[in-house]
Amino acid sequence: MSGDVQAGPEGRPGQPPHTRVGVSAAALLVVVAAGVLTGSVLNLVTVQRVIYVPGPVYDTLGQIDGADIVSVDEELTTYDDTDGHLYFTTIRLQGGPGDTVSAWEALRASIDPSTTVVPREEVFPEDVTAEQVREQNTELMQHSQDDAAVVALRAQGVQIDENVVVAQVIADAPADGVLEVEDEIVRVAGEEVSDTTAVRDQIQAVEPGQEVPVTVRRAGEEIELDVPTRLDEESGRTIVGVYLAPVYDNPYEVTIDAGNVGGPSAGLMFSLAVYDEITPGALTGGRSIAGTGTIAGDGTVGGIGGITQKMYAAREAGAEVFLAPSDNCTEVVEGDPGGITVVPVGTFDDALAVVDELEGSPGTSASALSFPTCADELEDQAEQTG
């Protein structure tokens, strides 16, 4: 014979190596292949969902793109002794107008504790465009900045007068066709009103379904109107269906530049930053404090969306304390990521009290201080309603 003959594993000449796949390995391969195929299919299928994702945080005492976030009128007494961080938090939305979410993305997000998946119709009206969303968020951010400056200045004793105007009339609402955008509200039910809270209080005194007398100033002329009302099923309140906005007679110029960030939810942190600029000493005591919440001219802090994502973002930024609107306490308890002290606040004064206690307790961790918690808030609410 020419050459040697290779023996197989059993010692038999010419026997090829054993190549059979076991049952377990074959089953695993099938599962993997099915998973890959399913993932590929889910990536091709779009769903009507919006995903809330933690966004970047910005220090209101710092800059964005080289520009100061907060700039205060030179006529005001300002101080350069700010220290620490006052972060405002943001979220990113996937699946808004002009964007799509795949079934695979929605599935992955649903098991990530830092993200939230909700039906698209809960966030965006059916026919809204991306441009309309940007315009609305820009307008809301501007109102938020104006309110923040006023709250901080009023806290320092500055007198700032305001008027109330109709910012938007909701289509098919009771006021549609009666009130107009830019109408200045002068009186409601015969009572003079000087802020949005007074307007809402007067409307609440009206039985749903009845008309409420409203005097508006339109094109320089006072007009008497009878505005229909109805019951809002969700809130149980009497409404006319308009958004109101304050117009302030602010004697000082306070500029807040948040770059391309929109929406009203940074109002609370803006107000704290302005207050820090116009008061002596470092408001934070050198600590890193984050937070969120709308702010009204009377200092009321309102609830926002994406609270879970903002807590995660704040923790990742290294913040020690997170100021959360009391209105969001249910979501806070459900989505608290841990590793950060979350303190509920209902007003600017509440937030200021928290910051003051932190500043006055150097060397003491926030978790060791006796701050109220959202669990406390919910327990108190349950006792009041029970």
CA angle 238, 241, 243 (to 5 degrees): 110
Taking residue 209's Cβ as centre, other Cβ atoms within 10 Å add up to: 11
Give Cβ neighbours of residue 184 (< 8 Å, ≥ 6 apart): 163, 164, 165, 216, 217, 218, 247
Instruction: Write the single-letter amino acid at 182.
Output: E
325 neighbors 357 (Cβ within 8 angstroms): no
Sole residue written with tokens 């809960």: 122
Among residues 142, 199, 189, 192, the alpha carbon closest in space to that of 166 is found at 199
- Which one from 102, 144, 271, 310 is the annotated catalytic residue? 310
According to DSSP, the β-strands at 161-169 and 63-64 are: unpaired
Active site residue 40: no
- Which one from 102, 144, 265, 326 is the annotated catalytic residue? 265
Active site residue 361: no
273 neighbors 61 (Cβ within 8 angstroms): yes
Is 149 in a helix, a strand, or coil? Answer: helix
Catalytic residues: 265, 310
